[in-house]
């Protein structure tokens, strides 16, 4: 992500990348700010963030073995339906 804190227009694809960074706690201040601006105007990405938070929390609670190929395919299919 660019270091220019004035960047406000990003694509949904870029926002989804930033959502992943935020959920992994690897997003910096600039990335969080840019994502927050995008989420204020994009309901789709706002919903995507909520969905991914719920999914991550659920998998954590389940202590799921995400190395299971079948589970990974199901999750990938579910997530791809939101793109």
Give this prediction's pTM: 0.65
pLDDT at 48 (0 to 100): 92
Say if residue 49 is exposed, middle or buried (CB neighbours under 10 Å; 0-12, 13-18, 19+): buried
For tokens 């791809």, name the residue.
80
How do residues 42-80 score in pLDDT, each as one tens digit?
999 999 999 999 888 877 777 656 667 787 788 778 877
- Nearest by Cα to 45 from 20, 12, 23, 14: 12
How do residues 5-40 score in pLDDT, each as one tens digit?
444 589 999 999 999 999 989 999 999 999 999 999
pLDDT at 6 (0 to 100): 43
């Amino acid at each position: 992500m660019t270091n220019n804190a004035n960047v406000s227009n990003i694509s949904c694809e870029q926002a989804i990348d930033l959502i992943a960074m935020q959920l992994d706690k690897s997003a910096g201040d600039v990335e969080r700010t840019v994502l927050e601006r995008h989420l204020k105007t994009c309901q789709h990405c706002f919903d995507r963030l909520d969905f991914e938070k719920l999914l991550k929390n659920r998998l954590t609670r389940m202590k799921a073995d995400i190395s299971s190929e079948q589970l990974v395919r199901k999750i990938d299919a579910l997530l791809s339906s939101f793109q």
